[in-house]
Amino acid sequence: MESKLLEKSPLLESLFVSNNNLAISPNLSLVSKTLQRLSLADNDIELLPSEYLKNMSVLNDIDLSLNYLKEFPWHTLMDMGKLNALNLYGNLLTKISDVSEAMMTSSLSVNMYGNPVSCDSSMCWLREGDTSCIQSFCTVTRMAPNNHKVRKLCTR
């Protein structure tokens, strides 16, 4: 996807480029102030540079499902105060340990189903009062910072 196209669309609110065989994500920083909905689902994206997601303060929904992501820049969630849903279904993600602090900053639903997530002690924060980890992930939801209780845990 040509970045010139995004340069010509400074007021873009929604970007749906699913099922386009994209190998790399477009540089979204060009529309960071206005983009609210983003779908890059069902492409061939292996890498999502963190600078592409910087300053996305009004982004509500991201769908990156059915790609080949091995890593996600979890720290970028800290700047996405309005993000409600992050769909990472069907990628190649093996870790979510860095997401815990980011998820506590806002009300956020993260779909991790269909990823080969490795369970280790760093992920035990997903279950309160239980030291065993969750082997099979679907959706993890955390409440806003004023109420840190787990609303819905993953199911097997």
With a cut of 50, say whether residue 143 has pLDDT above it: no
pLDDT the model gives residue 89: 93
Indicate which CATH number applies to the domain containing 139.
3.80.10.10
1-36 tens-digit pLDDT? 556 777 777 788 999 999 999 998 888 877 888 999
Q: Which amino acid is at 48?
A: L
Query: Strand 150-152 to strand 85-87: parallel, antiparallel, or no bridges (unpaired)?
Result: unpaired
* pLDDT at residue 108 in the model: 79
Please count the structural domains in the chain.
Answer: 1
* Domain of residue 24, residue span: 3-152
Report the C-alpha gap between 131 and 156 in whole angstroms. Answer: 16
How far apart are alpha carbons 94 and 115 in whole angstroms? 7
